[in-house]
Amino acid sequence: MKTCASCNERFNDGVQCSSCKKYLDFSCASMTEVGWKKLGADRRAQWKCPACRVSSPTLLSPQPTASLDTVLSEIREMKHQLLDLPTLVNDLRSIKDELSDLKKCYDFSSGRLDEFDTRLINLESKVSEFEKVQDTVLSLQSELASAKLELMSHDQRSRLNNVEIKGVPLKKDENLFSIVEAIGRKIKYNCPKAQINYISRVPIHNSKEKLVIVSFLNRYVKEDFVAAARAEKDLSTSDLGFQGAPHRIYVNDHLSVESKNF
């Protein structure tokens, strides 16, 4: 017989974690005997207990090949380069008209006229090239705008399972899981570690405060957690065991910067 690493009860049939090598009975492993057998030999050999799954580093979603800042920077740079393009095109057209008038007014020698004709043709060609460049730039601006929208959409989709908690003071050697559990007790919503993908602190722009980001494994669990927190109007720091004057704590969806601006 083996001893369960979670409840210390002895058992005959159970599971073994591939990471810490500890044994757990089916109840503590949150799994039935039938479900364990259905996993197959390969998946059973790779199975991890809830504690090891929480401590394992989370693979982040692949980031887009280009960031929003890069796209916006490229758009601003191209716009800056094109500020003088309309004036330059008009100047070239004006030169073209002046040369055309000079050609009519003066009776130059054939060689001189040929020279002016050549210059005029060259200028006309340059004007045509600039007009084509302008059309190309407009097309590129449209493509960049579409790419920006796609990146914004991808960024927001990657946050669908995330919750943003604002107002939790920073504390040395803090346990973010304990903080989330304390919030769960206050809002009357049980949130076991097995439902959490990861928890981390992220900085706020132009502020010393850091948000707590909780990524759930299930979108519906995340939505129920947010709904329960919003229903609790007086959630404050005192509910989490912090001393001093209580401050309001806010629980919301983890939106991208662009979505917040909307």
Mean pLDDT, rounded, for 192-207: 90
- Choose the final residue of a domain: 157, 190, 212: 157
For residue 37, the enclosing domain spans 2-55
Pair 132, 167 in one domain: no
Pair 188, 257 in one domain: yes
184 lies in some domain: yes
199 lies in some domain: yes
DSSP tally for the chain: helices H, then strands E? 9, 8
Q: What is the pLDDT of residue 57?
A: 59
Kindly list the distances between the CA atom of residue 117 and the CA atoms of 40, 88, 105, 128, 228, in Å, as whole numbers in the listed order.
Answer: 83, 21, 14, 16, 80
62 lies in some domain: no
Pair 15, 104 in one domain: no
DSSP H helical ranges for 16-166: 33-38, 40-46, 50-55, 68-81, 85-105, 110-157
Pair 138, 166 in one domain: no
Pair 147, 177 in one domain: no
**74-99 tens-digit pLDDT:** 787 777 777 777 887 888 888 888 88
- Choose the final residue of a domain: 157, 184, 215: 157
63 lies in some domain: no
135 lies in some domain: yes
- CA dist., res. 23 & res. 13, Å (int): 10
Pair 146, 169 in one domain: no
Pair 153, 216 in one domain: no
Pair 147, 203 in one domain: no
Instruction: Read off the pLDDT band of 261 (50, 70, 90).
Output: low
What are the backbone angles phi and psi of residue 240, rounded to the nearest 5°?
A: -100, 5
The structural domain count of the chain equals: 3
244: Cβ contacts below 8 Å, ≥ 6 apart: 237
Pair 50, 85 in one domain: no
153 lies in some domain: yes
- CA dist., res. 247 & res. 135, Å (int): 56
142 lies in some domain: yes
Pair 109, 93 in one domain: yes
- Choose the final residue of a domain: 55, 81, 100: 55
pLDDT > 70? residue 43: yes
Pair 207, 253 in one domain: yes
Question: Which CB contacts under 8 angstroms, 24+ apart, belong to 224-229?
Answer: 224/189, 225/163, 225/184, 225/187, 225/189, 225/191, 225/251, 226/163, 226/251, 226/252, 226/253, 228/187, 228/188, 228/189, 229/183, 229/187, 229/189
Pair 150, 167 in one domain: no
DSSP state, residue 235:
-
Mean pLDDT, rounded, for 145-170: 87
- CA dist., res. 88 & res. 94, Å (int): 10
**95-150 tens-digit pLDDT:** 888 888 877 776 666 777 778 888 888 888 888 888 888 888 888 898 888 888 88
